Amino acid sequence: MGRYLAQRVGQALLVLAATFTLAFLLLQALPGDAVLIKFLELGLTPEQLADIRIAYGADAPLWQQYLHAMGAFLTGNFGYSIRAGVPVTQLLAENLPSTLLLSALAFAAASLLALVLALLATLGGQGWVRALVRSVPSLFIAIPVFWLGIMLIQVFSFQLGWISIISPEPWEELILPVATIAVPISAPLAQVLIRNIDAVLAEPFVTVARAKGASHAWVLRWHVARNALLPVLTMAGVLFGELLGGAVVTEAVFGLNGLGGLTQQAVANQDVAVLQAIVVISAAAFVAINLLVDLLYPVLDPRLARGRRTA
């Protein structure tokens, strides 16, 4: 176990370093530069532009910039945002918490929605109800996220007037954005849950338990839930990347403050330092979540405790 742990952590760090490097190379290769984008319209002379570049260290050779950036990141210094004219850490401090909250709520809402759909689809009501509910996840996947968000605003905020999106109360601010992100995320979760509950219900031990007079609820709690929820944990790691993607779109639609909106602006203005920091943070989160899932899996599922290794 100790060796496995060390190996996984080592891999995770390796992936993180590779991500940093890949992102650095990708971002350096982008045409255009943030200094020109920001300052060209403002009538600076070529000499003044050059001065600004020197101030940002953007004139050094690439390998020096790379080593410098790597060293700075290791000490928690993410550099300076050219677009916003403030340190990147300040931007992150302003934007990260709200996106974390949004993502966490959205993932919780998606899990809940998926569970409700799965239970309805496997155990609920008439046959036709189940069949209908089973097609809901497919529909959820098929709706463009930004379109859903715009429609939700039009209907619930502007037409029905239930929710203010410009000056919301704290409790209402996140309702529509969470719904917007949660709908597409819930779909794969629901599909996995439905498939697993089906499989578990068909297994001999459940049939036996039922034959012995176990109630529906009991079967559900003790066998189905346990076996069906494990894959949800796995999915959490995979879906993380989509949460950020969903946040970019959702924050753009709702004009929310957060990492997603920051990403969009940074891409548009080629604010390389900000993008580098966002990549590293989300990669770190991705790697950490997947590591945690990998390590938790054997603990939760004793059958897999020996020698499991994810692909």
Partner 1 sequence: MSGAALPLRAGWPRLQPGLLLACAVLALVLAWAIAPGLFTARNPVQGIPGAQLLPPSWAHPLGTDGLGRDQFARVVYGARESLAGAFVAVAVGLVLGTGLGVLAGARSGWVDAVVMRLVDTLLAIPGLLLSLSIIILLGFGSIKAAVAVGIVAVAQFARLSRAEVLRVRASDYVEAAYGSGGRFGAVLWRHVLPNSLTSVLALAALQFGSAILALSTLGFLGYGAPPPTPEWGLLIAEGRDFLARAWWLTTAPGLVVVLVVLSAERISRAIGGART
Partner 2 sequence: MPLRRRETLAAVLASPAILRTLPAEAQPATPVRGGTLIYLEQQTYTQLYPPAGGFYPNGGVLNQITDKLTYQNPRTLEIEPWIAESWTTNADRTEYVFKLRPGVTFSDGTKCDAEAVAKNFDNFGLGNRDLRYPVSEVISNYQRSEVVDPLTVRFVFSRPAPGFLQGTSVIGSGLVSLKTLSTPFDQLGDATKIIGSGPYVVQRQTLGRELVLTARTDYAWGPKLHPHQGRALLDGIRFVVTGEDSVRIGALLAGQAHVIRQIQAYDEKQVKDRGFQLFAPSTRGVNNSVVFRPDNPLVAELAVRRALLHATNAQEIVDTLFSANYPKATSIIASTAQGYINLAEKLTFDPALSAKLFDDAGWTMGPGGVRQKDGKQLVLTAYESPPQPRNKDTLQLVAQQWAKVGVRLNVLAGDLGSRTLDSLDPARTPVAPAMVGRADPDVIRSQYHPLTRNVLLQAGGVATKVQNFADARLNALLDGIASEPDGEKRMALVADVQRYVIDQAYTIPIFEEPQVFAASPRLRGMGFEAVGRPSFYGAWLAAR
Residues 295 and 5: beta-carbon distance below 8 Å: yes
> If you write DSSP's letter for every residue of 141-195 in order, what string do you get?
HHS-HHHHHHHHIIIIIIIS--S-SSS--TTTTTHHHHHHHHHHHHHHHHHHHHH
Answer for which of 209, 265, 285, 297 binds partner 2 (CB under 8 A) is 265
Residues 36 and 269: beta-carbon distance below 8 Å: no
Shortest spacing between CB 225 and partner 2, in angstroms:
25
Which amino acid would we find at residue 235?
Answer: M
Shortest spacing between CB 104 and partner 2, in angstroms:
20
Shortest spacing between CB 16 and partner 1, in angstroms:
7
Summarize as ranges the residues that interact with partner 1 (CB under 8 A).
11, 14-16, 18-19, 22-23, 26-27, 29-32, 121, 134-135, 137-139, 141-147, 150, 154, 184, 187-188, 191-192, 194-195, 198, 235, 238-239, 241-242, 244-245, 248-249, 252, 263-264, 267-268, 270, 275, 278-279, 282-283, 286-287, 311
Q: Which stretch binds partner 2 (CB under 8 A): 63-71, 149-157, 173-181, 205-213?
A: 149-157
Answer for which of 4, 8, 11, 33 binds partner 2 (CB under 8 A) is 33
SS (H, E, C) 232-273: HHHHHHHHHHHHHHHHHHHHHHHCCCCHHHHHHHHHHCCCHH
Distances (CA, A) of 93 to 169, 261, 277: 22, 14, 12
Answer for which of 37, 96, 141, 225 binds partner 2 (CB under 8 A) is 37
Tell whether residue 38 is a contact of partner 2 (CB under 8 A).
yes
Tell whether residue 131 is a contact of partner 2 (CB under 8 A).
no
Q: Which stretch binds partner 2 (CB under 8 A): 199-207, 234-242, 268-276, 280-288?
A: 268-276
Strands of 80-120 (E only): list them: 80-81, 86-87
Q: Which pair of structure tokens corresponds to residue 130?
A: 């189940």
Q: Which stretch binds partner 2 (CB under 8 A): 40-48, 64-72, 280-288, 292-300?
A: 40-48
Q: Which is nearer to partner 1, 19 or 257 (CB)?
A: 19
Binding at 93: pick from partner 2, partner 1, none (beta carbon under 5-8 Å per type): none
Binding at 82: pick from partner 2, partner 1, none (beta carbon under 5-8 Å per type): partner 2
| HSE, side-chain direction, 13 A CA sphere, residue 155 | 7
Q: Is 149 exposed, middle or buried (0-12, 13-18, 19+ CB in 10 A)?
A: buried
Distances (CA, A) of 195 to 121, 144, 171, 190, 297: 10, 25, 35, 9, 19
Tell whether residue 262 is a contact of partner 2 (CB under 8 A).
yes
